[in-house]
Every structure is written in structure tokens, then in C-alpha cells.
Structure 1
Amino acid sequence: MTTHAVELPELWMPHPLRVNPHLPGLRAESEIWAREMGMVNGDEERPSGQAIWTRRQFQAMTVDQLTAWTLPDASPADLRLNHRFNIWALAWDDYFASAFKRTGDLRGALAFTARLHAFLHPEAGTPLPEPVNAVERGIADLQQQLFPPRLAHWRQEFNRAVARYIDAGVEELANSRSGRVPHLIDYAPFRRESFAAHTAPYSVELSTGARIPERIRNGRTMRGLLAAFMDVMGLANDIASYEREVNEERDVNNLVVVIATSLGIPLREAVPAAVHLVNTRMRDFEQLRRDESVLLDGRSRLQHEERAELEAWLDGACSFLSGLYAWYTGAPRYVSADPPPERGHRGDTETFSPVSPSAVGLGADAQP
């Protein structure tokens, strides 16, 4: 299937990009950790042994920028911790794609995933299994660090989110093997799992030190806001990674393909439709953040401290989305060899072109 020139609307991002001041030095520190875990080797053309990346490949992903852009307020220690988790999540993704998705090895994927589950449920102080590869070594090391006392309440929920992330990889592989394209109605909640989006509220809390007040977290407004927050992350990623996932990995688990199949339209029409859908979810997030949260405050009669924490967490969530958008549109992982797209301003609104037009087979005349 090929696409032809279409008018491509821009992904909408109403929040300015902010950068954590502790970005310098983050890449070197994280590369040492990735080497210790066995994820990175030297500058060879291909990773040797069980390594997932060469040094050149690792540096090209600019994961340090991703972390510093999404968590602009994090302390050095918290930034480093979340950075290592980001590296691990990408290591799992690339290893799984290379070892199982490209070979169609469902049985191997099931065995690999079953072993990873053993690293995700131990109580504090419980011995972990002996890691046998870079992905297992990474998650085993992170389990010793992810839950300091102030975030101990996240242990069960965070590990459950990671378990859903790796299980979703197996389901994606099964879909690709059978050629089954998920239906649009089912896809958004599934994408929250396959993107590990349920871990993102933890990252925001880690960065800001603020928690969503417990008594409103499971209410309708906050559930809707969190769903929109997670949808923007994962669905925008589908647009950015369309070229790699669909053309290189032959993956059917992508919003563009899902829309084209579910609605019975050509891929060239599904691309702008996907952008419109992501923009709609961004508007949903903004409406809930600006308007519904005020009503929620009135209904719930939040205390001053609770209201301040909610506002700080929401500000952190906005920065998280802005940082992700910037990374999608500038990182070599998603952008072709063409120059990265320019960022434009319209009043107080910052917009990003989702990917260079050539990266998804679109014409160079794409318009906002």
C-alpha cells in the first residue's frame, strides 16, 4: 500500500516546550548504565552479543532530550531515574521487535514475556530471578530504585502498568501474524497499554512532587482527563512512528492503519484523520483541565493544599505532553534524514508538524 500527496493538518500543542536545566551530562551517565545492563556496545555497524544498540544508535535516539523535555521540573536524581526507565522501555520495544515481531516468533515472545513478569511483582526486599539478558537486567535494576518511600504507593500500580505494556506486545505480535487489524473502538484503550501510558502519571508525580488528590482520582472528571492525557501520548506516537512500524515492521497496530481499515478509507485519507483524532483528544484534555477541574474543585471542596497539588500535577502533565511532541518531531528515531520541522507560533499557541512529509510518503506541500 502506498500513500499520495495529501494536505496534512498539524498536531496541536498549546503548551510551550520547557527543558530541565539538568540535561547536560545526562546522556553520558545513562550510557554508562545502559552499558552495564548490556544494552549498548561499541560503534560497530550492528550490536554484538546480546546488546540491543550500538553506541551510535543509542546516542541518536536522544533519550536524554526526551526525559529532560517531558520532566522539566525534576530533580537530578528523579530525572536520572525516569531516564533509565525510558531507556529500558525503548530497549524492550526494540529487542521485542527484532527478536519476535520481525521473525513472527509468538512462542518465543510468550516465553520471554512470562519471564519478565517474574520481575514485576516482588515486594520490597524479595529476591528477583537471575537476569539472563539486557532487558531483564534493566528491569531488575530498576525495581531496586523506582519506589522510594515517598512513591511507595505506586509499586503495585506501576508494575501492573509495565505488565500490561509487555503483554500488549504479545497481542500486537499475534495481530500482525494473523493480519487482524484492531477496530477503532477498541484501539484507544489498548494503545494506552501498549504505550505504557499508565506509567506516565507516576513520571509526572516524580517530576513535580505533586499527587492527584486520592478522593477525586477515580471520579468521572479525573478518569476522563487521564484517559485523554494517555490517548494523546500513544496516538500521536502512532503518527510519528508510522513509517517505521508499517513499512519496516509490517505492523498492523497503528492508528493510521486502524482508521483506514475500520472506516474503509484509503491510507492517504486516514493520515489526516488520525491527526484530527489526536487533536480532538488534546482539546478534550484541555477542556477537562481548564473547565471541568474548576467545577470539580467546587463540588469536592478541595482543601488549599489539595488544590495546589492538583494544579501542580496538571502543569506537569502539560509539560509532559509538550516534551513528547517535541521529541516525536525532532528525534532521529521518528524523523527522516530531512531537516527537522520548524516550530511555529500562533499567538500563545505552539504547533508542531507531526513528521516530515517524506517520512510518511506525503507530499512536501502539507499544510497546517
Structure 2
Amino acid sequence: MTVQDIELPILRMPYPVRVNPCLPALREEAETWARETGMLTGEEAPGARRAIWTRPQFHAMAVDQLTAWTLPDASLAALRLNHRFNLWALAWDDYFASAFKQTGNLAGAQVFTARLHDFLPQDPGARLPEPVNAVERGMADLQQRLFPPSLAHWRQRLNGALAKYIDAGVQELANSLAGRVPDLIEYAQFRRESFAAYTAPYSVELATGARIPERIRRSRTVCALLDAFMDYMGLANDIASYQREVHDEYDVNNLVVVLETSLDITVQEAMHAAADLVTARLRHFEHLSQSELPPLVRQVGLDHGERIELEAWLGGARGFLSGLHAWYTGAPRYAPIGGPIPEQRIAGITVP
């Protein structure tokens, strides 16, 4: 069965997608930042530093739409910051794939990753190394922007999540080189790390200005809700990016491959099993937020302000999931290579 013969399942998404009205302000500024960091090719002379993307590749990713869909209520300042963060994550992904995954250079990947850890300090006063590539320049810039005093509590957790993200890239490469398909039970946890899903709760927090109240943040219910929230993101991405990852990058770290191997079924059967699993995680998120969270709120005795803040965060999380779903469905980044990119309409939004 060829990639073109595989039927991609339609994933369930109960939350309507909305678009941030600040979307038009993102594109030009993001292009400038991507050029300044060296992610995007400019009018450089021959021999200048190698960029990660050409301009057509940059716009085909539709990262401005991703940001505006996932954070529909964010202020312009919060949207800009999240947009740069999204660009950085994709720049790391594409740079790592071309420099190390496609070449099988595990030793180089380990050196690159070890050095990148120096750009993720826990100490706010730590001095960063001099960046030597676009990924390092982007992260060095973000470190200056991500942690204003009002968000100082982010530093340890967010940089820790980013450390897991870049470490997971090395593990993915090691798996692919060894032909080791991850175990199904192991993979769910691993995918949260390799998708940078642990950063998503903080993106929602930044966009909404709301935090999950500390009194329930570490409860079983909230931990399970966050797991389901993060699982949808990475596992749904595995379906959307199946061709890109498996057939173009020869990656074994994909839910469809994991199910195909673990259950000894066909690719098409694995694709539908993956969709069932993604839907189950979304239903669990809904169940926890609608049925288990309210009794917990009453039991703990959250006050009115805490309840308002929790509802604002949950609304932001739902918007984040619906925006990701829209991006997976409509972004040219996930269109079959060599095939036409049809115009799609998602909840009234035209996707070019």
C-alpha cells in the first residue's frame, strides 16, 4: 500500500475554531525575526550562514495561522511571544531533521543537544553562550523575552519541558538508527516530550492570563486532565504528519507505526486505531473537565476568583486543541508532498 492509498481518518473536534483578530500583525514581524536569527533565507551573499527555510517553505508552514487559531483570545504581546516560540520549535524540528536525522549523525546530534542545554538555564542570571546557529540564536532571544517578572514561575518548568523536547529528538534518532519501534505503553509518555507538549499549558497560561489554581494543580484529576490535553496534541500530529515523518524522514517514532508493529495490523488499520486512541484521549479530557473537576472544585472550596481563573484556563485549553486541529487539517506543511494543496474551509476560515 502506497502513502497515497492510505485513507486519513477525520478526527473528532467538538470545540469550534476561532481566530485571533491580531493575526494580520503576525506575518511581517515573524518574517523579520526569522531572518534576523538566520532561520529564514534573506538576500545574503554566497557563503553566508545557512538558513533553515526558504521563503516559500516559511509561509507554507502557516505558523501565523497556527498561533492565531490556538490562542484566539491572547493579547497582541502574548500572541507575538507565542508565535516566536512556535517558530523556534519548528525551526529546531526542521534543523534537527536535516542535519542529523537525514544523515544519521547521532554523535553530532548529541553534541548539538548538549550545547543547546546551555541556552535553557534555571538561573535567571545565567550567562548564555554565544549562539552559532539559527536554533541557538532563536532560543537566546526567547530567553530574554519569555520570563518577565510576572512569569518568573515559568522558568524552571518551561525550560525543563524544552530540555525534554530536545533530548527526545536524540532518542528518536537513536530509535530510528536501531530500527527500534517504541513500545505502545512507553510511547504515550515519550510523545508528550517529543512534541514539546509540556510547554502547552504555559502557552495557554500566557494567552489567557489565568493559571490552574495551586490548590488543585497537583491533584489526580488535574494531572489526568493535563495528560489527556497533551496526548491529543502529539498523537493527533502523528496522524497528520505520517507521510512527512515515516516516508520522508524514515522515522519510526510515530503512533501509526507503533500500533502497526505492536498489534501486527496493516497500516490502514493502524491509522484508524490511532484515530480511535486520539478520540479517546479527547473524550477523557472532556469527561474530566465536565464531570470530575466540578466536584473537586467544591471539595477543595475554591473561591470565586479561583473558579473564574480555572474556567478561563480551561477555555484557553479548548481553544488550543481546536486551533491545532484546524492547523493539522489545513496547513500545507501536512499536505502530501508532490500533491495539490486544495483550498479547505474550516469553521468559516479559509485556509490557502
Q: Which residue of structure 1 lines up, in the alignment, with residue 342 of structure 2?
A: 339
Cα-to-partner distance string for 1:32-60 (whole Å, 9 max, x where unaligned): 0111001111489xx97321001121111
**Matched residues in 1 for 2:86 and 2:282: separation?**
23
Q: Which residue of 2 aligns with 1:39?
A: 39
Aligned residue number for residue 249 of structure 1: 249
| Shift, 1:311, TM fit | 0.5
Q: Aligned pair in 2 of structure 1 residues 177, 63: CA closer, same or farther (>3 Å)?
A: same
The answer to whether the 8 Å contact 2:256/2:274 transfers is: yes
What's the offset of the Cα at 1:2?
A: 3.8
C-alpha RMSD of the superposition: 1.9
CA distance in 2, matches of 1:103, 1:24: 38
Distance apart, 1:313 and its partner CA: 0.2
**1:121 alignment partner in structure 2:** 121
Unaligned runs of 5+ in 2: none
Letter in 2 for 1:196: A
Structure-2 change in CA distance of 1:43 and 1:182 (3 Å): farther
SS in 2 for 1:126: coil
- Structure 1 residues 250, 43: closer, same or farther in 2, change over 3 A? farther
SS at match of 2:23: coil
SS in structure 1 opposite 2:12? strand
**What one-letter code is carried by the residue in structure 2 that aligns with 1:315?**
G
Larger RCO (CA under 8 A, 6+ residues apart)? 1
CA distance in 2, matches of 1:58, 1:310: 36
Shift of 1:122: 4.6
Q: How does 1:155-174 map to 2 (within 5 A)?
A: 155-174=155-174
Q: Any idea what the Cα deviations from partners look like across 1:132-161, whole Å, max 9, x if unmatched?
A: 000000001100010111111010000000
For 1:85-133, what per-residue CA distance to the aligned partner results, in whole angstroms no more than 9, with x for missing partners?
Answer: 1000000000000000001000000000000000101522321100000
- Distance in structure 2 (CA, Å) of the matches to 1:203 and 1:126: 23
Corresponding residue number in structure 2 for 1:274: 274
Q: Is 2:62 the partner of 1:62? A: yes
Residue 179 of structure 2 is aligned to residue 179 of structure 1? yes
Partner residue in 2 for 1:324: 324
For 1:344 and 1:33, the matched residues in 2 are separated by 30
2:17·2:347 contact (CA, 8 Å) conserved in 1? no
Aligned to 1:144, the other structure's residue is in SS state: helix
The answer to whether the 8 Å contact 2:41/2:53 transfers is: yes
For normalisation by structure 1, the TM-score amounts to 0.90
Which residue identity does 2:60 align to in structure 1? Answer: A
User: How many residues in Structure 1 have an aligned counterpart in Structure 2?
Assistant: 344
CA distance in 1, matches of 2:324, 2:112: 29
State the partner residue of 1:137.
Answer: 137
Q: Which amino acid aligns with 2:304?
A: H
**Amino acid in structure 2 at the alignment position of 1:339:** P
Superimposed CA distance per residue, residues 144-197 of structure 1 (whole angstroms, 9 cap, x where no aligned partner): 010111111010000000000000000000000000000111101100000000
Q: What is the CA–CA distance in structure 2 between the aligned matches of 1:221 and 1:340, rounded to whole Å?
A: 40
**Contact 2:26/2:64 (CA < 8 Å) preserved in 1?**
yes
Residues 267-308 of structure 1: per-residue CA shift (max 9 Å, x gap): 121011111110110100011111111111121111111111
Letter in 2 for 1:159: N
Q: Which amino acid aligns with 1:169?
A: G
1:230 and 1:114, CA in 2 relative to 1: closer, same or farther beyond 3 A? Answer: same
- Partner residue, 1:210: 210
Considering fraction of residues, name the structure with more helix.
2
Task: Give 3-state SS (helix, strand or coil) of 1:129's partner.
Answer: coil
Trace 1:1-368 onto structure 2 (pairs within 5 A): 2=2, 9-42=9-42, 49-336=49-336, 337-343=340-346
Which AA in structure 1 matches 2:50? Q
Q: 1:236 is matched by which residue type in structure 2? A: A
CA, structure 1 residues 110+222, in 2 after alignment: closer, same or farther (shift >3 Å)?
Answer: same
One-letter amino acid matched to 1:325? H
Distance 2:91 2:330 in 1: 20
- In the alignment, the residues of structure 2 paired with residue 259 and residue 308 of structure 1 have an alpha-carbon distance, to the nearest angstrom, of 40
What fraction of aligned residue pairs are identical, expressed as a percent?
68
CA apart distance, 1:5: 5.3
Q: Is the 8 A contact 1:41 1:55 kept in 2?
A: yes
Change (3 A) 1:303 1:263: same
Q: Distance in 2 between matches of 1:90 and 1:81?
A: 15
SS at match of 1:13: coil
Q: 1:67 to 1:8 in 2, by over 3 A?
A: closer
The answer as to whether partners of 2:15 and 2:319 remain within 8 angstroms in 1 is yes
In the alignment, residue 89 of structure 1 is paired with which amino acid?
A
**Is the contact made by 2:122 and 2:159 (CA closer than 8 Å) also made in structure 1?**
no
How far off is 1:3 after superposition?
A: 5.9
Q: Which runs of 4+ in 1 moved over 6 A?
A: none
Equivalent position amino acid for 1:295 in 2 = P
Looking at structure 2, the residues matched to 8 and 129 of structure 1 have their Cα atoms a distance apart, in angstroms, of: 44
Instruction: Give the letter for the 2:181 counterpart.
Output: V
Q: Which amino acid aligns with 2:200?
A: A
Corresponding letter in the other structure for 1:253:
N
Distance 2:48 2:271 in 1: 37
